[in-house]
Structure 1
Amino acid sequence: MKWLGAKTRMTQIFTTTGETYAITLLKIFKGFIIQQNFRLNTLTVGYQFKSPIKCKKPNLYHFEKFNFIPFKLIKTYKIKKFQKFSLGQIIDSTNFKISEVISVRGRTIGKGFSGTCKRYNFNSGPLTHGSKNHRKPGSIGQGSTPGRVFPGKKLAGNLGNNYSTLFNLPIIALNYTENFLIIKGITMGTLKTNLLINKI
């Protein structure tokens, strides 16, 4: 089972021994189970209520069929065969405990088109003695044989804006009433970035 949340804040705390480490505050979205597929072992969860006026007719018919209020976000997760859920069951932060270890998956911050020095931490060329190769990638292949650039060559391109997963993030504090998780460590993305949380 997976949970959907958002990155709310990042800060640091100090221990009694004088140590300091970064923490991240995660807001767990309150989800409702709206469908369970036993053949594919999938679970569909809806988040954040939506006005029926703003809902499209095919989606509205689907919600009316199962007697549910329309949702803004709908996610489908893969579950284990022995897990049993009921329609309308609430998925929130009550499933977590302090000192549990979780993994977080989300989209990193996009930094646009970047060169090889910034994108892959390449070394720069000489800056003096008439050198004209300061931050260029340099030679990228052979001449007549094979006469092409191999796929996967590290070149300039888009930096960031891709999915990444962080493992082994311990939970150090909980707030069940507000559905907040305080984890030790940092997470990807900017504030209000949607994150997929999973127990390890």
Structure 2
Amino acid sequence: MMPAILARKLGMTQIFQEDGRLERVTVLEAGPCLVTAVRTAERDGYDAVQLAFGATKEKHITRAELGHLRKAGAPPLRHVKEFRDERGELKMGETVTVEAFAPGAKVKVSGTSKGKGFQGTVKRHGFSRGPVSHGSHNVRAPGSIGASADPARVFKGIRGPGQMGNHRVTQRGLEIVGVDPELNLLMVRGGVPGPPNGVVEVRTDG
């Protein structure tokens, strides 16, 4: 089976290992994912497999997406994602489950981080604050961002306030500590990007 799957982040908990250690883990509802397309280098210019995940109603997806899923014999599914160079021996219509992963394997998890809106430099970049007494008006201001007449501009890359979060993030080197095929659950050591119920991509790392 291929070492990649789509999953939904359910939340975090803790479990005891056989040696008595307490592990903090993220629980992922991984699959089952249907193979809705297979890309080949001869026909498409690259090798990839397309997986679909997350049952939904027909009214929540476009007619083009619905027709594409019907061509693969799949029911209405909300999330469709291609995984490049991980096609393996999969064929259209097959199903990928958590049984493709084993405890102890290293994976990388990609998802969209929690959006925190427009934030200042203290929260966004960890700047130090200014003095808060004796009439200070520079408690959380960023301070100087450049010189005056020379160079008469602000250099690119200066850290400042702005949008924080809501970016694609990949967490690498996570270890699978538990697999439950009956409930389609993966338990991964540590945290993964995104809020609860967010959809993430799980691939083998390395």
Quick check: TM above 0.5?
yes
Which of 71, 87, 93 in structure 1 is aligned with 2:92? Answer: 87
The answer as to 2:68 corresponding to 1:73 is: no
Q: Which runs of 5+ in 1 are unaligned?
A: none
**1:75 is paired with a residue of what secondary structure?**
strand
Deviation above 6 Å: which 4+ runs of structure 1?
none
Change beyond 3 A, Cα 1:120–1:64: closer
| Aligned 1:1-200 pairs, distance under 5 A | 1-15=3-17, 19-39=21-41, 40-49=46-55, 56-80=62-86, 83-200=88-205
**2:172 is paired with a residue of what secondary structure?**
strand
Residues in 2 aligned to 1:138 and 1:68: alpha-carbon distance in whole angstroms: 56
**2:15 is paired with a residue of what secondary structure?**
strand
Change beyond 3 A, Cα 1:2–1:128: same
Residues in 2 aligned to 1:62 and 1:15: alpha-carbon distance in whole angstroms: 44
CA RMSD of aligned residues (A): 2.3
Residues in 2 aligned to 1:143 and 1:162: alpha-carbon distance in whole angstroms: 34
**1:94 is paired with a residue of what secondary structure?**
helix
1:91-142, CA deviations, whole angstroms, 9 ceiling, x for partnerless residues? 1101001111111111111111111111111111122233221111000011
Kept in 1: contact 2:72–2:93 (CA 8 A): no
**2:36 is paired with a residue of what secondary structure?**
strand
Residues in 2 aligned to 1:187 and 1:88: alpha-carbon distance in whole angstroms: 29
Residues in 2 aligned to 1:64 and 1:19: alpha-carbon distance in whole angstroms: 47
Deviates most, 58-67 or 1-10: 58-67
Q: Identity over aligned residues, as a percent?
A: 28
Which residue type is aligned with residue 177 of structure 1?
E
Q: Which runs of 5+ in 2 are unaligned?
A: none
Deviation at 1:56, TM superposition (A): 4.4
